[in-house]
A and B are shown apart, each in its own frame.
Chain A
């Protein structure tokens, strides 16, 4: 054999014959269908996965959205007050002045508001958690 001679060219017919012949198939084992049905029965008899408790989660989601909205409103009011005190040409003063926020929050009236909000949220959390933990 000439070592540099390539092997015979593989034709499309060769590929078709090799890949389309009946010898390229197997028969399932005799118990295959029974095994599959056993697995199907297990699947069908298994308890359905617990659905997410949307009904119970709705109050929490609403509370979270409300808190978020409150925070946004607070930040917006802080920015607004900051902008009004400084040069009016710069309406948005980024990054947010932390000292201004601290001063705003530490103001007696605002502090009381925060205190009430925090207490209300704590109470809501407590009620919500007890409700989640309690049996139906």
Chain B
């Protein structure tokens, strides 16, 4: 998903063609309808960002709407120090995180990740591949919050660490560290023995886990 705004060449609406800064100035001057240009320009990125946080279309749109409302209310706080998109994504991310704290998404628990029954078949079929990808995306939501946010924002910004850092308002090094840890957690969960083999391998795993700090 490209977080850049989609271009709409067929639209003749001046509100949609004006830059974000111009639209913000118009809204600040009392032209509420100018905000529509902002909404139409950024609706897709904001809904998609929310979708990554909750994996629920209806809820994603509700969360994105709340983010737009919050942006409208706090538009005066945008000073133009950074790009409008940075400010908007940062605000939206805060809204989504708050919303998820209030009512958590229902991701798969990391312990409930369904593993392919037979790797030889699973790897060969596209369905299993996509299913595994979806399982992985849901597993991201089960990560601890700080790693989850870093992973989600990193991929939302097309693997751009500085952009993710700006959105999260944390140093790039912190983003990299959280990304690393998040990936490690995902890797460790996905490389565990499947559930059917858990009991069989429990005795073998215990000594190994005991050595792990």
CB < 8 Å A-B pair total: 121
**Which residues of chain B are near A3, meaning CB under 8 Å?**
193, 196-197, 200-201
* Contact-residue size bin, chain B (C-beta under 8 Å from the other chain): 35 or more
Query: Is B88 in the interface zone, CB < 8 Å from A?
Result: no
Binds A, one of B76-84, B115-123, B169-177: B115-123
A33 lies within 8 A of B40 (CB): yes
Considering the chains assembled together, what is the distance between the CA atoms of A4 and B205 in angstroms?
10
Binding site secondary structure of chain A: helix
In this complex, how many residues of chain A approach chain B with their Cβ under 8 Å: the count is 37
Query: Is B64 in the interface zone, CB < 8 Å from A?
Result: yes
**Which residues of chain A are near B116, meaning CB under 8 Å?**
7
Considering the chains assembled together, what is the distance between the CA atoms of A20 and B140 in angstroms?
13
Binds A, one of B18-26, B45-53, B89-97, B98-106: B45-53
Which residue of A4, A10, A24 is within 8 Å of B1 (Cβ)?
A24
Considering the chains assembled together, what is the distance between the CA atoms of A21 and B183 in angstroms?
17
**Which residues of chain B are near A15, meaning CB under 8 Å?**
136, 183, 186-187
Which residue of A9, A24, A26, A41 is within 8 Å of B32 (Cβ)?
A41
Which residue of A9, A19, A32, A43 is within 8 Å of B191 (Cβ)?
A9
Query: Is B28 in the interface zone, CB < 8 Å from A?
Result: no
What's the nearest-Cβ distance from chain A to residue B10, in Å? 15
B155 lies within 8 A of A19 (CB): yes
Binding site secondary structure of chain B: helix
B1 lies within 8 A of A25 (CB): yes
Query: Is A108 in the interface zone, CB < 8 Å from B?
Result: no
Query: Is B57 in the interface zone, CB < 8 Å from A?
Result: yes
**Which residues of chain B are near A17, meaning CB under 8 Å?**
133
Considering the chains assembled together, what is the distance between the CA atoms of A11 and B136 in angstroms?
12
Considering the chains assembled together, what is the distance between the CA atoms of A27 and B43 in angstroms?
9
A sample of 24 inter-chain contacts (CB < 8 A) reads A3-B197, A5-B197, A6-B191, A7-B190, A7-B194, A8-B191, A10-B186, A10-B191, A19-B136, A19-B155, A23-B133, A24-B133, A28-B43, A28-B44, A29-B61, A32-B61, A33-B36, A36-B69, A37-B33, A37-B36, A37-B39, A39-B68, A40-B35, A44-B72
- The chain B residues found within 8 Å of chain A, CB to CB, are 1, 32-33, 35-36, 39-40, 43-44, 47-48, 51-52, 57, 60-61, 64-65, 68-69, 72-73, 115-119, 123, 130, 132-134, 136-137, 140, 151, 155, 158-159, 183, 186-187, 190-194, 196-197, 200-201, 204
Besides A18-B136, A28-B43, 16 other A-B contacts (C-beta < 8 A): A3-B201, A5-B193, A6-B192, A9-B190, A10-B186, A10-B191, A24-B52, A25-B48, A26-B47, A32-B47, A33-B43, A37-B33, A39-B65, A39-B68, A40-B35, A44-B32
